[in-house]
């Protein structure tokens, strides 16, 4: 018997708009079934900092996709996720699927020094206690999925960003160089270049210490070309802004950057505003609005299609084959 599928979020949280759009897109195709409903999970923070969770919708025997608010601080995000999973389990949910557009702690995926935890692995254990599946976007290290004992869908944002660029900025894409901001991002740059055309260049950097970048060298030709810097996230934006300056000094024309996750920590937005970057494109994996130089593209269509495929036993990986 089909007991329906619920898209859940906190109606007062910043993920509610994202959840509503996913729900609307799931039900907008007349050729597909419309068995999806929108439900509410209330997350309240008491004066002493403790969190209280209540599922406000009947979830008994339903397949639940809980969309979590990526704008919460990491500590509240983690404990509220564990509490929501427990509440759904105790409410007799049929399946509990965690939809985490941005996976916090994803950069803490190894021991950075003696006697330190692997926090990404700790989070995997917490989630795996009561969740049946995890869905996220562009995990910082895809190998981290091996820490999970439940099915894990690590979606890619590039089809959304590439489609946005091709549909809205064809002139920029002419005479293009795709730039990886470090050697570790080279494969991502090649993936974009395969779809957008253009050459690939790498900014080779030496990092003096965490958050402080030393010398940078451009490997490849950007002289007289429009440049698109591609990365998985923008945090403090120090590396990105310095890379843009080096690219300008090497003859780049328009300099744009795109990333899946816009963390924009500390004074990142001021750095971007005052940099030689002409445009920055990020997704709504972390809720935010268009800002000076920053343009937001939505992942709601990608998540809606993923949820549809999961709930109908169809392949998710086929979304990223071309």
Q: Which residues are catalytic?
A: 205
Contact 160, 177 (CB under 8 A): no
CA 10 to the chain's CA centroid = 19
Sign of CA dihedral 107, 180, 291, 285: negative
Per DSSP (E only), the strands in 46-169 are: 51-55, 63-67, 95-100, 133-137, 152-155
Q: Quickly list DSSP for 244-266.
A: HHHHHHTT-SSEEEEEEEE---T
Helix H or strand E encompassing 303 = helix 300-311
Six-digit token string for 268: 């990142």
Please enumerate in sequence order all residues whose Cβ is within 8 A of that of 294, keeping only pairs 6 or more positions apart, or say none.
Answer: 262, 269, 272, 280, 281, 282, 288
Contact 64, 93 (CB under 8 A): yes
């Amino acid at each position: 018997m089909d007991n329906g599928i619920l898209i859940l979020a906190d109606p007062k949280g910043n993920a509610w708009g994202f959840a509503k759009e996913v729900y609307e897109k799931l039900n907008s195709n007349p050729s597909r079934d419309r068995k999806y409903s929108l439900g509410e999970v209330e997350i309240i923070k008491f004066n002493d900092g403790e969190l209280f969770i209540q599922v406000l919708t009947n979830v008994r025997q339903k397949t639940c996709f809980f969309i979590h608010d990526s704008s919460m601080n990491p500590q509240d995000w983690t404990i509220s996720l564990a509490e929501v999973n427990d509440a759904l389990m105790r409410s007799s949910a049929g399946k509990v699927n965690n939809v985490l557009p941005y996976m916090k702690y994803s950069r803490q995926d190894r021991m950075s020094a003696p006697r330190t935890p692997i926090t990404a692995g700790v989070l995997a254990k917490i989630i795996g206690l009561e969740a049946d599946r995890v869905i996220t976007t562009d995990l910082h290290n895809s190998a981290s999925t091996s820490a999970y004992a439940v099915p894990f869908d690590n979606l890619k944002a590039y089809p959304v960003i590439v489609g946005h660029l091709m549909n809205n900025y064809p002139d920029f894409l002419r005479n293009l160089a795709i730039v990886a901001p470090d050697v570790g991002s080279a494969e991502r740059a090649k993936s974009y270049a395969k779809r957008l055309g253009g050459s690939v260049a790498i900014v080779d950097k030496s990092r003096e210490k965490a958050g402080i970048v030393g010398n940078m060298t451009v490997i490849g030709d950007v002289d007289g070309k429009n440049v698109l810097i591609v990365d998985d996230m923008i945090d403090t934006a120090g590396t990105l802004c310095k890379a843009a300056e080096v690219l300008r000094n090497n003859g780049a024309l328009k300099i744009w950057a795109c990333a899946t996750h816009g963390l924009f920590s500390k004074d990142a937005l001021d750095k971007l505003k005052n940099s030689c970057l002409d445009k920055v494109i990020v997704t709504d994996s972390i809720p935010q609005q268009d800002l000076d130089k920053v343009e937001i593209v939505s992942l709601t269509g990608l998540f809606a299609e993923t949820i549809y495929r999961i709930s109908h036993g169809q392949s998710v990986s086929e979304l990223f084959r071309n």
